[in-house]
A and B are shown apart, each in its own frame.
Chain A
Amino acid sequence: QSVLTQPPSASGTPGQRVTISCSGSYSNIGTNYVYWYQQLPGTAPKLLIHSNNQRPSGVPDRFSASKSGTSASLAISGLRSEDEADYYCAAWDDRLSVFGTGTKVTVL
């Protein structure tokens, strides 16, 4: 049972901006970095954001993230068809890292 809650789904048309939320608590998001992963259909997850808002090399700047209190969010600007995937947040929680419940992004 994940302690990080995400909306099950989000959608947008090409070019739109989509935002995904990740709600946690003091012991995870409230006191630790948040990470975001993109999982394309049938593939392993890929690190999208680390340390709350840092993009690894190669990740387009269309992806951005922020954190406030015990919640975090991932934004995808200029939505593209190849962004259709599942997205997971993650954070350290007390003694082990936890993943979010996951959000499926659909490009309409």
Chain B
Amino acid sequence: QVQLQESGPGLVKPSETLSLTCTVSGGSISGYYWSWIRQPPGKALELIGYIYDNGNTNYNPSLKSRLTISVDTSNNQFSLRLSSVTAADTAVYYCARQGHTVFPNFEYWGQGTLVTVSS
């Protein structure tokens, strides 16, 4: 059974960089699209972006200038870096496996990690 686990700081200061890693177990990272999705408290889901195992990425245009998603196939991990954060970036951040296509077929999800942006 594929499992995903987010890890990273739960508190980030304004203007700093938010960094999260998703570790995949129970299956290979190869051959799939891997996504980051976030959900501000009490609000809807938002796709941040995704990466394929070869490193190709696609980012949400509203975050593109601040966003980097990378993959480490040797360690079965992929990561998120979001720079110059503000309070608006406070959210539960989920990593998810998107399947073999770019379509929103998110088959497996991590449990989510709350990241609060505050001084």
Contacts from A to B (Cβ < 8 Å): 2, 32-33, 35, 37, 43-47, 50-51, 56, 88, 90-92, 95-102
From A37, A46, A92, A98, B102 is in contact (CB under 8 Å) with A92
Given the complex of chains A and B, what is the CA–CA distance between A45 and B108 in angstroms?
9
Are the CB atoms of A99 and B94 closer together than 8 Å? no
Q: Does B109 contact A (CB under 8 A)?
A: yes
- Give the contact-size bracket for chain B: 20 to 34
Are the CB atoms of A91 and B104 closer together than 8 Å? yes
From A43, A47, A100, A102, B105 is in contact (CB under 8 Å) with A47
Rounded to whole Å, the gap between the CB of B57 and the closest CB of chain A is: 11
Work out how many contacts link A and B, with CB atoms closer than 8 A: 58
Are the CB atoms of A99 and B112 closer together than 8 Å? no
Residues of A within 8 A of B60 (CB): 96
From B44, B102, B109, A97 is in contact (CB under 8 Å) with B102
Q: Which of B61-119 contact A (CB under 8 A)?
A: 61, 94, 102-107, 109-112
Known: A2-B44, A102-B45. A97 touches B107 (CB 8 A): no
Are the CB atoms of B109 and A45 closer together than 8 Å? yes
Q: Does B16 contact A (CB under 8 A)?
A: no
Are the CB atoms of A96 and B61 closer together than 8 Å? yes
From B45, B102, B109, A99 is in contact (CB under 8 Å) with B45
Q: Does B58 contact A (CB under 8 A)?
A: yes
